[in-house]
Amino acid sequence: MREILISESAWEEMTCLFAPSLARKLDIINAAVSHRDLRSPPGNRYEELTGKLQEYSSIRVNKQYRLIFKWINGKAEDVYLDPHIY
């Protein structure tokens, strides 16, 4: 079980617009044992981030939102939903 932090405004938008795709992406992250597992399907748009977020990776939930997370001991940790405006 993982704890995921989602802001109140993101939660409201998420439940209206993309709850099914978010749930699917969270399942994909939860099942992954390596970052390589997230490279397929290509629609995940897996990225290893740079700059301030260089320890993190991300996959796309939809056109605006991404799930950002850190790989620790073979699993995704510190998962959060980001509006992708950085």
Comparing 23 with 3, which gets the higher pLDDT?
Answer: 23
User: Mean pLDDT for the chain?
Assistant: 84
Domain of residue 31, residue span: 8-82
Which pTM was predicted? 0.74
72, pLDDT greater than 70: yes
Give a yes or no: residue 2 inside a domain. no
Instruction: Tell me the CATH number at 68.
Output: 3.30.2310.20
Q: Supply 33's token pair.
A: 């044992």
- Please list, in sequence order, all residues whose beta carbon lies within 8 angstroms of the beta carbon of residue 6, skipping any fewer than 6 positions away: 14, 80, 81
Give a yes or no: residue 12 inside a domain. yes
Span 28-43, average pLDDT: 88
- Please list, in sequence order, all residues whose beta carbon lies within 8 angstroms of the beta carbon of residue 49, skipping any fewer than 6 positions away: 55, 56, 57, 58, 68
Give a yes or no: residue 3 inside a domain. no
d(CA 12, CA 8): 6
Give a yes or no: residue 1 inside a domain. no
Domains identified in the chain, total number? 1
Give a yes or no: residue 59 inside a domain. yes
d(CA 45, CA 37): 12
